[in-house]
Amino acid sequence: MDGGREGRGRRIVILAEGQFGEEGSKTARGVLRYGSDPVVAVIDSTRAGRTVADFMGPGPRYDGVPVVSGIGETLSLPEPPDSLLVGIAPAGGKLPDEWRTTILEALAAGMDVVSGLHVFLGDDPEFAAAARAQGARIEDLRRPPERMECAVGRAHLPGKQVILTVGTDCALGKMSVAIELAAAARREGRRALMLPTGQTGMMIEGWGVTIDRVAGDFIQGTMEWLTQEAERRADWIFVEGQGSLDHLAYSAVTLGLIHGTTPQAMVMVHQPGREWHIDWETAGEMARLKPLPEFIRLHERVAALVRPSKVVAVALNTSLAADEAAARSMIEQVAAETGLPTDDPFRFGGDRLFAAVRAALE
Amino acid sequence: MDGGREGRGRRIVILAEGQFGEEGSKTARGVLRYGSDPVVAVIDSTRAGRTVADFMGPGPRYDGVPVVSGIGETLSLPEPPDSLLVGIAPAGGKLPDEWRTTILEALAAGMDVVSGLHVFLGDDPEFAAAARAQGARIEDLRRPPERMECAVGRAHLPGKQVILTVGTDCALGKMSVAIELAAAARREGRRALMLPTGQTGMMIEGWGVTIDRVAGDFIQGTMEWLTQEAERRADWIFVEGQGSLDHLAYSAVTLGLIHGTTPQAMVMVHQPGREWHIDWETAGEMARLKPLPEFIRLHERVAALVRPSKVVAVALNTSLAADEAAARSMIEQVAAETGLPTDDPFRFGGDRLFAAVRAALE
């Protein structure tokens, strides 16, 4: 478990070469939107000269932040960055060769490098030597904890509420929903947090474990341990979900989260209009998303194999809606279809959805 | 994927200190019963002076094999061993301190050491130095493959049958059932194999991956790749299952096997009389085994999230039956309860169960 990065006051430049604003840059966008440390630039030479807001819409945390072509440009900023964050999350996590130069330039300038890639930058002799030469640090967020323990069947502490976001696919907002629900809970005066289980969440919150890199035997034990730590820090814990229970590549991780966190409730996240698992469209029928009501019931049955849990609300990603009216219509339709409180907490804020979760649990 | 150990003609001594014949020695017993290389001794100082058959009953592969107190005794055997196999599989896979001496003695005598522990012996400086000094090799079966690829949704080759053993718990015979079914298929003239997914299976078959040590993101991709390799080698593939879908510590691995191998059929393995997940009895209700008919249907629903599959037979471990008549009665009862062909392939051979699987698939 990594701790203490929160409030360290990094000034961040995010590497998102060739992908900023696209699907592959979700880590970059997550940190820009939710991170506590300031982002001073985004590197994407194909989009240099524009600003972050051109791609993400206006936002108080990143208005005016430039997209630049490389490390060189960032050095002449009024407040140059002290940390390069590798803001990409490709399937498999491999490092594109062309990014080596940028990383080496950052290390040569004395910047720390923070990476969520499956390939550990700190194990690369060239990167390690460059970091040593400048006293810079390489942080590989995906490096699993030394701790290798199986789950023991721990019970939640009294008064703690653990809510897991599950979903119909990857990359549709399970982390954002957890963040928005935690923020809504805090607005109501609750001690609440988002428990990060992926590299973007870790970059935002400054702790957590990238659970998809943990060995199978220890996924559930690690989630049990993280949940215990979260219960020390807060009363309402919104766990960042991963993958989906029907995902041909990632379902093992999803089930490990369900059975490892033993949530008191789940929130189902879905993007109306998405019909196929993203990036697996060519796999045919096995990549088709499942109808929501049946999929929700199956989550409850599967969770109950270890501990009873209900899906108490649906969080929609309505980004494919043409306008707000269309988004509201999607929400109404899914609420009718599932019989569950439904909202888009990203578009409309998490207050109503949190109220529904709270009503179901208290 | 490790290959080529098959037929290498090792002479094995198995380390099972303090546990031979007990639950914790299932790796030792698996290799004694099914391995192709000869076992010349078992080390367990608490049982020294007796023979393997005293604990496992008579068996042509190990009749007369002595249980000895340490490496020293094995050096004076007519055919001394050339390999020490660490035949224990404790929860978590940690190395008991008291075994270090035995391993160092084996390495000092020039023996190779083969281990399925989570802790990698080859990474231990003292073991590594001792091996180097004698030109001995340390093989850590649990070391995951370098390959880090996600599943892509590969289809099975025409004419190939992939059957996965699933179960109501760990340590009740999923590997043995796969081995017995493959043997029965070969007796009928089929090209068949057991696909090993754990360290014992790897020791027996000489290839495979210990899937519980693979990172979550790559469990399904690794199983897809192993299945592809198995389809090159045979027509009937019986995949060694792991854990159980309702296991509070291991269900992630189980689901990864189901969705990674996309089996055409599953065989459910159960031990009548077992009511709680072994070693998790203190976890309360979450460790209670599930009723078979409902659990079988749930496996089919969960498998179908990626590829339709049926449980086509039940393989019982009737070792808790008082006698053969009681075992037959257990089998009849479960057959009636589930409506599925049911047998104990370990006690009665795999022919009838294989016939049932074949009938369901052909």
Q: Which residue of A has its CA nearest to B154?
A: A283
Q: Which of B143, B168, B262, B305 to mutate to test the interface with A (most CBs of A within 10 A)?
A: B305
Contact between B290 and A305 using a beta-carbon 8 Å cutoff: yes
Contact between B153 and A282 using a beta-carbon 8 Å cutoff: yes
> Closest approach of chain B CAs to the CA of A348, in angstroms?
32
Distance of CA B51 to the CA centre of its chain: 23
Largest CA distance in chain A: 61
B12-140 and B161-361: same fold?
Answer: yes
A240-271 residue pLDDT tens: 999 999 999 999 999 999 999 999 999 999 99
Q: Which of B197, B214, B219, B278 to mutate to test the interface with A (most CBs of A within 10 A)?
A: B219
Question: What architecture is domain B161-361?
Answer: 3-Layer(aba) Sandwich (3.40)
Residue with structure tokens 């699907």? A23
% of chain A residues with pLDDT over 70: 96
Q: Which residues fall within 8 angstroms of residue A67, CB to CB, at 6 or more apart?
A: A20, A41, A42, A43, A44, A47, A48, A49, A50, A51, A52, A54, A55
Contact between B220 and A255 using a beta-carbon 8 Å cutoff: no
- pLDDT at residue number B90: 58
- What is the rounded average pLDDT for all residues in chain B? 94
A202-246 residue pLDDT tens: 999 989 999 999 999 999 999 999 999 999 999 999 999 999 999
- pLDDT at residue number A6: 44
Read off the pLDDT of each residue in B146-173 and give the average, rounded to a whole number.
96
- pLDDT at residue number B36: 87
Q: Which residue of A has its CA nearest to B291?
A: A305
Residue B261 sits at φ, ψ, to 5 deg, of: -90, -20
pLDDT band at B26 (very low <50, low <70, confident <90, very high): confident
- What is the rounded average pLDDT for all residues in chain A? 94
Contact between B211 and A216 using a beta-carbon 8 Å cutoff: yes
Contact between B150 and A251 using a beta-carbon 8 Å cutoff: no
The rounded distance, in Å, linking the Cα atoms of A235 and A343 is: 23
DSSP A206-225: S-B--GGGSBHHHHHHHHHH
- pLDDT at residue number A2: 38
- pLDDT at residue number A199: 92
pLDDT band at B2 (very low <50, low <70, confident <90, very high): very low
Contact between B259 and A251 using a beta-carbon 8 Å cutoff: yes
- Residue from the list A93, A150, A252 with its beta carbon closest to the beta carbon of B219: A252
B77-88 residue pLDDT tens: 999 999 999 987
- The domain segmentation of chain A, as residue ranges, is 12-140, 161-361
Q: List the end-to-end C-alpha distance of chain A, in Å, as a whole number.
A: 30
For residue A164, is pLDDT > 90? yes
Can you give A93-125 as a three-state secondary structure string? CCCCHHHHHHHHHHHHCCCEEEECCCCCHHHCH
CATH of domain A12-140: 3.40.50.720
Q: Which of A168, A220, A255, A258 to mutate to test the interface with B (most CBs of B within 10 A)?
A: A255
Nearest Cα residue to B179 out of B155, B149, B202, B153 = B202
The rounded distance, in Å, linking the Cα atoms of A298 and A97 is: 42
- Residue from the list A118, A144, A259 with its beta carbon closest to the beta carbon of B148: A118
Q: Which of B154, B278, B286, B294 to mutate to test the interface with A (most CBs of A within 10 A)?
A: B286
Helix (H) or strand (E) holding A181: helix A174-187
Contact between B248 and A92 using a beta-carbon 8 Å cutoff: no
Contact between B221 and A249 using a beta-carbon 8 Å cutoff: yes
Overall pTM > 0.90: yes
Tell whether the torsion through CA atoms of B40, B46, B51 and B52 is positive or negative.
negative
pLDDT band at B92 (very low <50, low <70, confident <90, very high): low
Residue A274 sits at φ, ψ, to 5 deg, of: -85, 125
Nearest Cα residue to A311 out of A264, A275, A249 = A264
Cβ-based contacts of B283 with chain A (< 8 Å): 152-153
- 8-state DSSP, A61: T
Structure tokens at A320: 């494919």
Read off the pLDDT of each residue in B259-263 and give the average, rounded to a whole number.
98
Helices (H), B206-250: 216-233
- pLDDT at residue number B248: 98
Helix axes A292-304, A324-338, angle to 10 degrees: 50
Cβ-based contacts of B255 with chain A (< 8 Å): 251-252, 255
Contact between A305 and B216 using a beta-carbon 8 Å cutoff: no
Contact between B214 and A212 using a beta-carbon 8 Å cutoff: no
The rounded distance, in Å, linking the Cα atoms of B139 and B176 is: 23
B96-107 residue pLDDT tens: 777 899 999 999
Which residue(s) pair with B85 in the sheet? Answer: B14, B114
Contact between B153 and A91 using a beta-carbon 8 Å cutoff: no
